[in-house]
Amino acid sequence: MTIHAHVVISYGQSNNPTKRQLESVLAERLAKLDGVTTLVVPNLYDLAPTSSTIQRLKTLPGDLIVLGWLYDRATHWILDRNGVLGKFGITELPIDEDDEEELDSSLDGDNEASADDMARVIDERPALDRTIYSLDLRKTPDVEVFVDEVERIVSIAAQSRPQPLLDWLQGEGTAEQMSRYLGEPETTDDATGRRWYPVIDFSRCTNCMECIDFCLFGVYGVNGADTILVEQADNCRKGCPACSRVCPENAIIFPQHKTPAIAGSPANAGGLKIDLSQLFGGSNAVTEAANERDEQLIMAGRDAVGMAVGIPKRQSGGRATDRDELDNLVDELDSLDL
Ligand code: SF4
Ligand code: SF4
* Ligand with an atom nearest the CA of residue 300: 2
286 contacts 271 by C-beta, under 8 angstroms: no
Ligand 1 nearest-atom number relative to CA 209: 5
Ligand 1 nearest-atom number relative to CA 208: 4
* Phi-psi label, residue 89: left if phi above 0, alpha if psi -120 to 50, beta otherwise: beta
What is the distance between the alpha carbons of residues 88 and 157, in angstroms, rounded to a whole number?
14
Closest residue to atom 2 of ligand 2, CA basis: 242
pTM for the structure as a whole: 0.84
Closest residue to atom 8 of ligand 2, CA basis: 215
Ligand 2 nearest-atom number relative to CA 214: 7
The matching CATH number, chosen from 2.30.30, 3.40.1180, 2.30.110, 3.40.50, for 5-112+126-187 is: 3.40.50
Q: Does 211 have pLDDT greater than 80?
A: yes
74 contacts 255 by C-beta, under 8 angstroms: yes
Closest residue to atom 3 of ligand 1, CA basis: 205
Closest residue to atom 3 of ligand 2, CA basis: 236
pLDDT tens column, 133-157: 999 999 999 999 999 999 999 999 8
Output the ligand 2 site: residues, CB below 6 A.
198, 214-215, 217, 219, 236-237, 240-243, 293, 296
How would you class 201 by CB atoms within 10 Å of its CB: exposed for 0-12, middle for 13-18, buried for 19 or more? buried
Closest C-alpha among 233, 247, 237, 228 to residue 294: 237
- Reported CATH class of domain 199-321: alpha beta
211 alpha carbon – ligand 1 mean position (Å): 6
53 contacts 41 by C-beta, under 8 angstroms: yes
User: Domain locations in the chain?
Assistant: 5-112+126-187, 199-321
Helix, strand, coil distribution of the chain in percent, nearest 5: 40, 10, 45
How much is the mean pLDDT over the chain? 83
Pure H helices in 163-255 = 166-171, 175-179, 210-214, 242-246
Ligand 1 nearest-atom number relative to CA 228: 5
Ligand 1 nearest-atom number relative to CA 249: 3
pLDDT tens column, 233-284: 999 999 999 999 999 999 999 999 999 999 999 754 444 444 556 656 666 8
Q: Give the number of C-alpha atoms closer than 13 A to the C-alpha of residue 162, restricted to the C-beta side.
A: 0
pLDDT tens column, 70-109: 999 999 999 999 999 999 999 998 766 555 555 444 444 3
How would you class 287 by CB atoms within 10 Å of its CB: exposed for 0-12, middle for 13-18, buried for 19 or more? middle
Indicate the top mutation candidate among 243, 257, 297 to test ligand 2's pocket, ranked by most ligand atoms within 8 A of CB: 243
State residue 275's pLDDT score. 53
Query: DSSP label at 90?
Result: P
93 alpha carbon – ligand 1 mean position (Å): 29
56 alpha carbon – ligand 2 mean position (Å): 29
Q: With helix as H, strand as E and coil as C, how does 120-164 read?
A: CHHHHCCCCCCEEEEEEHHHCCCHHHHHHHHHHHHHHHHHHCCCC
222 forms bridges with which residues in the sheet? 228
